[in-house]
């Protein structure tokens, strides 16, 4: 699903949203760098095994540890932009306060679920620390990755809290385009925005070549 626009203004809600988004952006960048590291390690493992019969030690262990890092570091970033997969067949037909009420209930339910998951994942990380849990091959400690999960869930809860604030404010005021929440766009608008992005990128590339 394409990301949705998030409006900004000078309100306390919007300022808080932008501060948290900067943190989420850095975490998302870290997830991207982890993906790059995984790709380079995979290439090194394949070439090392093929050319020198020398694979990367504990390659599977490293991959198992890397996947949760990639998955969870960007979870708040994706929620802020409305990038998570969702069914818009019903929600897309709603307008005004009906839409904001539906969205408000959704994020409140998500927040409650995340609190339960945060508690469970924290206990899981504590257990890994207490028993010295490690991977099978090269005995990498698993607790850092397991501890990362409740931390990222906590960031997501903060994000959901801000979105709850945004939807509640929109529900109270009846505004059509509230700040700090992802706005739903129809398929035509999404397609137009994507086409504009491609056109801008192509224009920038042409400008760079002309400048050279």
pTM of the model: 0.85
pLDDT at 193 over 90: no
The pLDDT of 167-178, averaged and rounded, is 92
% of the chain surpassing 90 pLDDT: 75
Burial class (CB in 10 A: 0-12, 13-18, 19+), 116: exposed
pLDDT at 205: 57
Q: Render pLDDT for 42-67 as a digit per residue (tens, 0 to 9).
A: 999 999 999 999 999 999 999 999 99
pLDDT at 123: 97
pLDDT at 178 over 90: yes
Sequence spans of domains, the chain: 12-198
The per-residue pLDDT of the chain, averaged, comes to: 89
The pLDDT of 92-120, averaged and rounded, is 93
């Amino acid at each position: 699903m394409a990301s949705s626009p998030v409006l900004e203004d000078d309100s306390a809600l919007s300022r808080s949203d932008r501060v948290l988004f900067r943190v989420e952006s850095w975490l998302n960048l870290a997830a991207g760098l982890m993906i790059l590291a995984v790709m380079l390690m995979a290439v090194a493992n394949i070439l090392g095994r093929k050319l020198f019969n020398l694979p990367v030690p504990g390659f599977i262990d490293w991959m198992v540890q890397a996947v949760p890092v990639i998955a969870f570091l960007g979870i708040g970033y994706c929620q802020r932009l409305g990038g998570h997969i969702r069914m818009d067949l019903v929600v897309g037909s709603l307008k005004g306060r009906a839409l904001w009420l539906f969205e408000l209930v959704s994020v409140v339910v998500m927040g409650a679920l995340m609190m339960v998951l945060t508690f469970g994942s924290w206990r899981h990380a504590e257990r890994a620390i207490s028993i010295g849990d490690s991977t099978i091959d090269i005995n990498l400690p698993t607790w850092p990755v397991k501890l990362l999960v409740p931390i990222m869930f906590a960031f997501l809860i903060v994000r959901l809290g801000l979105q709850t604030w945004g939807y509640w404010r929109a529900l109270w005021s009846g505004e059509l385009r509230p700040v700090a929440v992802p706005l739903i766009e129809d398929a035509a608008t999404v397609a137009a925005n994507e086409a504009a992005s491609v056109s801008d990128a192509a224009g920038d590339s042409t400008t760079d070549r002309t400048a050279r």
